Each structure stands twice: as structure tokens, then as C-alpha cells.
Structure 1
Amino acid sequence: MGRVTSRHKVVRIDLDGDVSRAIDTVAGEEPLEIRINGETFTMTMRTAGADVDLAHGLLRAEGVIARRDDVVSAVFCSDLDTLNVLNLTVPGRDARTAVTSTRNLASLGGCGLCGTTAVEAIEAVVRQKPPEVLWTAEQVAASTDELRSRQVVFDKTGGVHGAGLVPAESDRLAIVREDIGRHNAVDKVIGAALITDVETAGGLLVVSSRASFEIVQKAAVSGISVLACVSAPSSLAIEAADRLGVTLVAFARGRRMNVYTHSHRIPH
């Protein structure tokens, strides 16, 4: 499974004070190979923990699975020297052909294709807009504050992102996950919701990072109505959220936030 954190020697230099030696706690980062029916689907760098959630969320976001029952089992390959290989039994799916149009977007970001092409690829998969669930600005602010208060690994390391889900008609985070990768943290939340039958449609997803295109993609596939991130949005994230019907909130810090798309869901 690997370690969530590890401890390392560090020399601390204070230009206005002393130089000292100490032991620092840092976030773990290790590879995880995800297999479908014994064949490699992808390799991701992640913080160990909630790996089954991560795998389910990734496959859900990529359109490989749609519900919990699509996965018969998720088992670490204990016959190997490392436990960083997780095999999911998904009847009727082949890892070599499970690469969907959404997954191909990983290559679009750096190949010079226009952003419109990337958004259109997602639109072909996400055919239904998120439900018209309203969330007050106070609820968004309270949820980002709650996420920060529940980031246990961040408190120890300062080196991981957090993501949390507030289901529709709720006012508390039902699921919180952390990971060194912001995308992984979101996948872990989506996967945990899938496994535990927590409804994502109409929900509020809060993330302790910038708002990127990939996170908007994951929110849209899951039917999330409002995505709130604590940092800046990218131009493609805004375009995607607008066309996919996701309310995108960024710079959600304290009692201030910017609503970039579908602001009608945040009464003001």
C-alpha cells in the first residue's frame, strides 16, 4: 500500500535567525498501476491510501464504468514484490480498448489542438447537464472552510491537495479525501461516492487547488452542479464549465469567491 507520509532529515535556514537540523514529515508519493482484468490500464503517481476509491473514481470519470456493480472485485496483486498494483475485474471491458474519448484528452493539452476540440470530446460523453440545484454563497464558503479543517495529511506535511463532496440537500461534507495530486483527490472522492452509494448528481464539489479543465471534466461526468476551487481557474476550465452546465466557482477563500459560469445556482 505504501506510506501516506514519511520522515526526512532537513536543514532549516532562517536568514534572520539560526540554522538548525530537524526531522520533517512530508507527503508520500508512489506509483500505482491500475489494471483491468489483468491488463494495464494506466499508471498514476499518488499518495497511498484510498486506492480502491481512486481506481473507481478514475474509471467512472473516464466513462469505463457507470455504477459500483460494474466492478466485480478490486484486489492488490500480492504475488508481486510491490502492492502498488491494483487489478479491477470489470466484465466485458478490455484495458486496451477502454481508452475513451475523455481519456484521450490527456494528450490534447500539449499537442496544439484548440480547446474547443477538447470540450467537444467531453460533450460527446456528457450528454446530460447537471441538475439545477441551488447552493448559497454561505454554503460554499462553509464547505471550503470545512474541507481545510479536515485536511489531516496537509496539516502534517503541507504537501497534499484535498477534495470533498457535499451531496444535494445536505450542508456537510459527506466525503473528504487527500492526495499529492489534485486530480487523484477528486477521483478518490468520486470513487468513494460510487462505492458507498452517495449521490453526486446536484452536489457541491470543493477542491483545494486551481480549477483545471480535467477537474471540470470529472465534475461534469459525475453530475456535479457546483465546483468550487480555492485558487484560479484556467480559460479552458471556464469554457468547459460553461458548455457542460457546471457552475464554476474559483478563488473561494474565506467569505469571498468568483463565480465564472452559471451563477444562477449561487443566489446573490
Structure 2
Amino acid sequence: MNRKSCPDEYPITLFVNGQNLATYQLTNRDLEDWAVGYLYSEAVISSPNDLKMIRIDESRGRILVETTSDFDIDLFREKQMNFSAGCGRGITFFSMSDVKSFTKVKTNRTVSLSYLLKKRHEFAINSPLYLETGGMHGACIVDREGKIYVREDIGRHNAVDKIIGFALRENMKPEDLILLTTGRISYEMLSKAARFGFGIVGSRTAATKQAIQLANYLNVEVIGYIRGKMINVYTSCGRVLKDLNDKVAGDL
């Protein structure tokens, strides 16, 4: 397959109440969703209702946010800044010990392995930036009716922030949703999913040991290698029905 273009990287600085939080590498798409999702994931806001204004200033590479309450950037920065691994490197101010204080996830949604494989395929064919460039990550949510919603970015963590921001802005209930991602599920990816409240998180690739330990602690079901004839359930929360034989499902 011949790709028509290259992936886009867009350095953008996030300002909260006039204060420079940090500069991030993003794909210039769905930036409002990213801002809402990132600020929620980092506990700067509790919901979109905490925002008075979001303005995208593309000419200067800025996102300008105003919140309904004061934001103490010095207090925020007292937390250790952690750079997440992978392309489109992101920044998180949550440590592993911080994440362990999150509320444990509750949901009664269950799915089968075959359903996850089907939705992973739908996700793949509905990822236009990846199909155009071959160099994008994506994040997808699946609702109870099976409808999928996709966001893409050069960074796997940015894509997850974008889809969380979209879900928040649409007032979607986390207990109704499944999160699928193209990227590795690391501890900071799992923390984003757990803070929002996803009970089922899947990827086309692996999860790290730290992410699995955190998922077990926070009651999040994690599934990896959702592709072709491979699929691996890392956790045992009882939300995934193993309806495939060993030849198809691999080593479960």
C-alpha cells in the first residue's frame, strides 16, 4: 500500500488561566477533545462544567483554557513531572502511588473475545489518519449498542486523552463503554482509563507489568494483542467471555 502523506507533529502550548502549563507534540486534530481529556486525566478539572472557555490559537500554537475556579500552577508543579514513553512523548503529573488512590472501577458490562476482535477490526478500518499515513495511533470507545467513536494522534496517550475528552463532552457514562487503543498499555495509559472509569481496556499490542498490576488493583479488565488470531486476557475481573478455541485465541 502506498501512503499519500506523512504523519503530522504539531507543538502546542497549553495555557490554563493565563499560565503556561507545558508544550506537547500533537496531531492538529480534535484539539478541544484533547484539552478536556488531558486536563481531566491530570485532575485539573473534574468535568467539562469546570471550564469557562477553550480557545485554539493555531497561528501561535496555543490552547487557551479558562477554568471556573482558581488554578495554582505552582502547587500543581510540586508533583513530579513524568515523561511517558513512546512516540509523541507526553507528560503526566501522576505517579504510581497517586494512581493507586483512584476509586476502583465498577461496571456490569461483559463482552466476548470474538466481539472484541470484531470491534478492533471496525476500529482499524475507521482510522482515516492511519490509513492515510501509516504512522498514527488511535483510541476508540465502543458503547453498549456497539457504535464506535475514534480519535487519532501521533502519540498513543494523546489519542486516549482525545477520546476521553470526547466522551466527557458528550456526557457518556464510563460504565457503558469499552476503550480500545493501538498503543501499548503502560501505567500512565491505564491511569487515564481508570480515572475516567473504563472497566474494559484493550489494545492491539502489549500491556506492561506495571499496568497489569495497577489494573488488578483498580478492577480494570485488560486485554492485549487483539489482532488476527492472537488475543490475551491479562486480568481476571470476569468481564470477558472466552468464546474462542485455543487455536484462534492463543495462550489465554
TM-score bracket for this pair, using the shorter chain length: 0.7 to 0.9
Residue 230 of structure 1: CA displacement? Answer: 0.5
> Which residue number corresponds to residue 12 of structure 2?
32
Matching residue of 2:248: none
Is 2:211 the partner of 1:237? yes
Q: In the superposition, relative to structure 1, how do residues 63 and 23 fare at CA in structure 2: closer, same or farther (>3 Å)? A: closer
Aligned to 2:135: 159
Alignment-derived partner of residue 130 in structure 1: 106
- Matching of residue 180 in structure 1 with residue 130 in structure 2: no
CA separation in 2, counterparts of 1:263 and 1:71? 35
Gaps of 5+ in 1: 1-21, 110-116
Match of 2:65, SS? strand
The structure having more radius of gyration, on CA atoms, is 1
Is residue 2:145 matched to residue 1:170? yes
Fraction of identical pairs, as percent: 25
- Counterpart of 1:64 (choices 44, 50, 54) is 44
- Please tell me the residue identity of whatever aligns with 1:35: F
Alignment of 1:208-219 (within 5 A): 208-219=182-193
The equivalent of 1:256 in structure 2 is: 230
- Offset from partner CA, 1:10-34 (integer Å, 9 cap, x none): xxxxxxxxxxxx9951011011111
> May I ask how many residue pairs the two structures share in their alignment?
233
Distance 1:144 1:49, change over 3 A: same
Residue 54 (structure 2) aligns with: 74
Cα offset for 1:63? 1.2
Identify unmatched segments of 5+ residues in structure 2: 86-93, 243-252
Shift of 1:182: 0.3
| Deviation of the 1:137 alpha carbon | 1.4
Q: Distance in 2 between matches of 1:146 and 1:62?
A: 30
1:86 matches 2:66: no
**8 Å Cα contact 1:39/1:95 also seen in 2:** no
Q: Distance in 2 between matches of 1:108 and 1:197?
A: 28
Q: How far apart, CA to CA, are the structure 1 residues paired with 2:84 and 2:38?
A: 18
C-alpha RMSD of the superposition: 2.4
Identify which of 106, 115, 120 aligns with 2:97: 120
**Distance across 2 between alignment mates of 1:98 and 1:59:** 15
201 and 65 in structure 1: CA distance in 2 versus 1, 3 angstrom threshold: farther
Q: Deviations over 1:135-157 (max 9, x none)?
A: 22122111111110111011111
Please say if residues 35 and 88 of structure 1, whose CA atoms lie closer than 8 Å, have aligned partners that are also in contact.
yes
Is the Cα–Cα contact under 8 Å of residues 12 and 61 in structure 2 kept in the other structure?
yes
In structure 2, what is the equivalent of residue 52 of structure 1? 32
Please tell me the residue identity of whatever aligns with 1:96: I
AA aligned opposite 1:75: R
User: How far is the alpha carbon of 1:200 from its aligned partner?
Assistant: 2.2
Q: Residues 71 and 34 of structure 1: is their aligned pair in 2 closer, same or farther, counting only changes over 3 Å?
A: same
User: Helix, strand or coil: the match of 2:162?
Assistant: helix
